[in-house]
Amino acid sequence: MISNFVAIDFEFLPSLGRIIQIGYVVVRNGVIVDTYEQLVNPCCSRQDFYLVPMVSNITGITYDMVQNAPTFEDVWPDLYKVINKQIIVAHNACSADLSVLSKELFRICERTDQYSDIAFDCYCTMNIAKSLSHSKCGLSILCQEYDIELSAHHNAFADAEATAKLFIEFVNRYNIRHYSPV
């Protein structure tokens, strides 16, 4: 049974592929043992930040809030230590979290190959829900169905915490034991 993993979530600017908030939850032996939440400066103009104004409306994150935050390059060394060679769990991993992470890493690796060895296995709770024949697989809907608190949807930490609890529920209820690519 899978009991050690890191659930992660990113809020990001889809028009730029830039992360504006990171949240993760470290789970050991099926219990949350560490958490992290950080706003991230996407290093863009105000105009570029609001190219898709809906992002700020949904997340509550504004351009002014991220101006004094560290950049992704600043926070990456610590994040790398947490996720490298681990099992990562994300909701909608392929089209959202892993996609934007790949874009950010590409920017870093253009200047250095220091982190080119990043490796992890990934489970996607959305894909798991689809494989279990759920007709609606949004995180908030699944949390309601499995009676999991989602304190602030579209907040990276709250979504990562809810994803961790959802994955624990899936593992316990459906006996998920092996890695299956997302």
pLDDT at 178: 62
CA pair distance 166, 143, nearest whole angstrom: 7
Cα 51 to chain center, whole Å? 22
CA pair distance 156, 162, nearest whole angstrom: 10
pLDDT tens string 24-71:
999 999 999 999 999 999 999 999 999 999 999 999 999 999 999 999
Distances in Å between the Cα of 75 and the Cα atoms of 4, 80, 81, 154 are 23, 9, 11, 20
pLDDT tens string 57-111:
999 999 999 999 999 999 999 999 999 999 999 999 988 999 999 999 988 877 7
Question: Is residue 169's pLDDT more than 70?
Answer: yes
Residue 177 structure tokens = 């034991």
Between vectors from CA 47 to CA 46 and to CA 51, what angle results, nearest 5°?
A: 120
Quick one: DSSP state of residue 24?
A: E
pLDDT at 108: 83
Question: Is residue 17's pLDDT more than 80?
Answer: yes
CA pair distance 86, 97, nearest whole angstrom: 16
CA pair distance 151, 35, nearest whole angstrom: 15
pLDDT at 109: 77
CA pair distance 60, 47, nearest whole angstrom: 17
Residue that the structure tokens 């892993």 belong to? 98
Identify the band that residue 123 occupies on the pLDDT scale cut at 50, 70 and 90: very high
Contacts of 42-46 with CB under 8 Å at 24 or more apart are 42/12, 42/13, 42/16, 42/18, 42/66, 42/71, 42/72, 43/18, 43/71, 44/13, 44/16, 44/18
